[in-house]
Every structure is written in C-alpha cells, then in structure tokens.
Amino acid sequence: MSIANRLRFDETLSGKLALLATEATRNVLVHGGGGQVVLSGVKEENVRLARILAIDKGNGIANIADAMADGFSTAGTMGGGLGAMKRMATNLDIFTGRTGTVVMIELLEPIPKETRTNGRMHVAGFAVPYPGERVCGDAWFSHQTPHRTVILLADGLGHGWGASEAAAEAVATFRQRADLSPGEILGYIHDALRKTRGAVAAIAEIRPAEGALIYAGVGNVAGVVLENGASRSLVSHNGTLGMMSPKIQEFRSAWSPASTLVLHSDGLQSRWDLSSYAGLIARHPAVIGGALLRDFRRQRDDVSVVVTKAA
C-alpha cells in the first residue's frame, strides 16, 4: 500500500492499514449502499498517521453501541466490523444520521512521550481529484509548534497535472517558510508560482495562548470560523498567486477553545450550514470534513477541505 510505504510503516502497521481499508470499503459497499473511501497520510515532525474516511448516503446506524460490538452487522446500516475496526485502530470516530454515515479511522505510528508536542491542534484535511483524474490540483499542509498552528490550503488553476504542480509548489514553499506570518508566506508562494499556471490559496495561523487567528487569502478559497452556533467568514482578496501581483492582506480575529476553522476550495459549495447537523461540530475534524464532502461537493472540480479545532 503506497500510503503505508510513504509513512514507512512496519509490516504490522501496514497489514493493519490494509485490513482497515478493506473493511471500511466493504462496509460502504454492502451496508451503506455505496459511497466513497478516502485514504490519506500525514507525515510531519514526529507524527506519522494514516487516516481512512468512509462516507456513505445510506440509512444510518440505528444503534451505535450495538454497532460497536464485534461481529455486529445489520443490512441497511454501516455496522459490519466496526467493533473490530475500533480495536485495531488508534482512533475511530463516527457521525451518523438519516442522510448517511461518516466513519473516520486513524492508525498512528507510536511516538515516544518525550518527543510529543504539547498544545497541538486537531487538524484534518483531504484533497480529492476531479472525477477521472489521477492527480489532484488541490493541496493542503499544516505546521505546528507548541505556540502556533499554521495551515495552508491551495487550489491550482484548473485540474490535472498543471494544477497539481502549482499546488505542490505552493506546499513546498509553505514548508520552507512556515515560520513566517501568513501574508509573508503567501508573498513567497506568489513568487514561486510564477513558473506555474498559478493557484489561489489561503493561510491561517492560530495562536491559542493569545486567543488569535491571523488569516490571509488570495482568490476563491473559503475560510469560516464556527463557534457556539454562530459562524463568520474570513476575507480573501481577488487574484491569483503567480500572476499579476495580487493584494495580500492579513486579518486578525478572535480564537477560543470553542472555535472550529473550516478551509475549503471552490470544489465545495459555500451554502453549507453545520447547525443542521446535530452534534457534528463535536466530532473529529475529519468527520466534519467528510460530512461536508458528502453533501456539498461539486462534481466538476477538485475539492479540498481542512478542519481545525482544539485537541
């Protein structure tokens, strides 16, 4: 499995990942009536994490407690194998309702306690290519220290290889400049993308101890902060990085332990409202993103979503 190889998982973890992915896919096909399974890997600093997101539009799971028992399976639900999957995984989270189920499964390479970073945020994202494409023109990346979390979401113009190359260049530049402010990083990305077809992008920096969110965006990338049932949209200026000099401006706003940040490309419709999903805001960020992908994806473009909240 390429993700396991990229994360340098040993034989045991690679085998677990293969079994979990197979069972998640079987559940979506047999019990969920079809859907989507998204696999991704996170490799940064001391974190090596494989994440499986299983999304369906079935009838939901009637009783989560029963479904988590080993061997439980009921036709019309996504219950088969969840108990065994939970035992095998590092982390498993579920959101289910009448419009379907989202299951998030994580497998984490053990990290020595002395090397773990305190104060980490929960950041989960994915980029899914245009239907039929082998590469994705969207990309994201996050960088965390004990005092700040910085997240990039980039959308290369169009789709296919050219868009993928632009988005990858944005990520590479971000990784080199992640210690700078969002606006400064976007400036470097703009210069780096002159040799590509260009991209739109947004960068958010969260400083939990200061209660601050610093945001800068160029082009059609959405940033929304959710808190206590309310939402506020973050401001991005028109333009394209890598082309005529766009306006880059940082905006500072409040951040609290109850805040949740959602970044997404225009492959996701902007009319979503989490208040109609009872309890979803309390779930793992990957589950929140999965529900948005299921219900609000535009099928004619790449799509990327990154959700961030307090750990």
- What secondary structure letter does DSSP report for 176? H
Structural domain boundaries in the chain: 2-108, 117-310
Report residue 111's pLDDT band, with 50, 70 and 90 as the boundaries: low
User: What percentage of the chain reaches a pLDDT higher than 70?
Assistant: 92
Mean pLDDT to the nearest integer, 287-298: 96
Alpha-carbon distance of 51 to 127, in angstroms, equals 13
| Four-way CATH pick for 2-108: 3.40.50.720, 3.30.450.40, 3.30.565.10, 3.40.50.1220 | 3.30.565.10
Question: For domain 117-310, is the CATH number 3.40.50.720?
Answer: no
The chain-wide mean pLDDT, for the chain, equals: 91
71-101 pLDDT per residue, tens? 555 544 444 578 889 999 999 999 998 889 9
How many other C-beta atoms can be found within 10 angstroms of the C-beta atom of residue 90? 15
4-46 pLDDT per residue, tens? 998 889 999 999 999 999 999 988 888 777 889 999 998 766 6
114-134 pLDDT per residue, tens? 445 555 799 999 999 999 999
228-259 pLDDT per residue, tens? 999 999 999 999 999 998 999 999 999 999 99
Alpha-carbon distance of 41 to 55, in angstroms, equals 17
The pLDDT value recorded for residue 118 is 53
Mean pLDDT to the nearest integer, 252-274: 97
Same fold, 2-108 and 117-310: no
Alpha-carbon distance of 167 to 165, in angstroms, equals 6
36-56 pLDDT per residue, tens? 999 999 876 667 899 999 999
Mean pLDDT to the nearest integer, 259-285: 96
CA nearest 150: which of 126, 109, 181?
181
